[in-house]
Amino acid sequence: MSGTDEAMKAITTAAVDSFRDTPDPRLRELLQGLVRHLHGYVRELRPTMREWEYAVDYLTAVGQKCDPTRQEFILLSDVLGVSMLVETVNEQGGGTESTVLGPFHVVESPKRESGDTIDLLGTGRPCVVSLRVRSTDGRPLPGASVDVWQCTEDGFYDVQQPDVQPPGNGRGLFRTDDEGRLWFRTVVPSHYPIPTDGPVGVLLDATGRHPYRPAHIHFIVEADGHRPLTTHVFVADGPYLDSDAVFAVKDSLVVEFAQVDDQEKARAYQVAAPFRIAEYDIGVEPEGREDAR
């Protein structure tokens, strides 16, 4: 081992050891692991001082871009595939697969009743989404809360267009009925580019990556005695399903939004025909000891 290698090893050891007395063992493990991996990256790739300063300036800019309705750090984690990796290591299997939260769950969704519309603009092509929430043991789950958010047909969330969309457009906080069901009226969301007017856009641009996400509707499902689930359903016939900018597509989450021409069905759902309908069963896992952490 050269003198330089020894000096580098001593720095890593000292930094890891500095967390030795952290009272919380999990915090100690996370911080010591972080230091080991960061130091390993530096030792392998040997960034120049200029590159290091660029990285610090870049992360500073990421922080400065954040505000109550813009979360550039989540976006950065998303395009690096980290958000999806965290989702995946936490998945237990058995229930509906999870996927990323994304940066647009930044306002409280308005409470709505099953059958309500979340399309406050009223100009789009109608769509009905019908869900049933069950435990993975097959029991329907009455009273489960389902938080929904989606973009418009033009590919924007309400918080991105405060002058165009009323707050709460495309959002709703629902509860399932006695059979674990709920439905709502909406529009079919569009695919859209993730925000590129910040440092994450600079990264995508410099690396020749496109910013698009396939069309989807987000859900957070919470039921007593069950693990909370953060997921989306993806619109089956849309573009970018095989190249999502944030790596979040799972085959089990791709759902057909079928066209319905039947006038009677349209009347039953209080929409005009033709309309699209997506029907999806969501499975949530009973809470286990894992959650104690």
Chain positions contacting Fe ion, by CB under 5 A: 102
To the nearest whole angstrom, how small is the minimum distance from the Cβ of residue 213 to ligand BEZ?
Answer: 5
To the nearest whole angstrom, how small is the minimum distance from the Cβ of residue 22 to ligand BEZ?
Answer: 32
Q: Is 100 in the site for ligand BEZ (CB under 6 A)?
A: yes
Q: Candidates 35, 62, 75, 84: give the one binding ligand BEZ (CB under 6 A).
A: 75
Q: Which one-letter amino acid corresponds to residue 95?
A: G
**Contact mark string toward ligand BEZ, 126..165, x via CB under 6 A:** ----------------------------------------
Looking at the Cβ atoms of 249 and 271, the one nearer to ligand BEZ is: 249
To the nearest whole angstrom, how small is the minimum distance from the Cβ of residue 146 to ligand BEZ?
Answer: 17
Looking at the Cβ atoms of 109 and 135, the one nearer to ligand BEZ is: 109
- Candidates 101-109, 164-172, 254-262, 275-283: pick the segment binding ligand BEZ (CB under 6 A): 101-109
Q: Is 170 left (phi over 0), alpha (psi -120 to 50) or beta?
A: left
Residues 104-123 that bind ligand BEZ (CB under 6 A): 104
Burial of 221 per CB tally in 10 Å (0-12, 13-18, 19+)? buried
- Candidates 9-17, 96-104, 133-141, 249-257: pick the segment binding ligand BEZ (CB under 6 A): 96-104
Looking at the Cβ atoms of 148 and 266, the one nearer to Fe ion is: 148
Cα dihedral 243, 246, 247, 249 in deg (nearest 10)? -80
Which residues partner with 193 through β-bridges?
212
Residues 243-272 that bind ligand BEZ (CB under 6 A): 246
Cα dihedral 242, 245, 250, 253 in deg (nearest 10)? -100
Alpha helices in the chain (DSSP H): 3-17, 25-45, 49-65, 72-79, 82-89, 199-206, 263-268
Of the candidates 59, 53, 51, 104, which has an alpha carbon nearest to the alpha carbon of residue 199? 59
Looking at the Cβ atoms of 191 and 227, the one nearer to ligand BEZ is: 191
- Label the pairing between strands 192-193 and 181-187: unpaired
Helix axes 199-206, 49-65, angle to 10 degrees: 130
Nearest-CB residue to Fe ion? 102
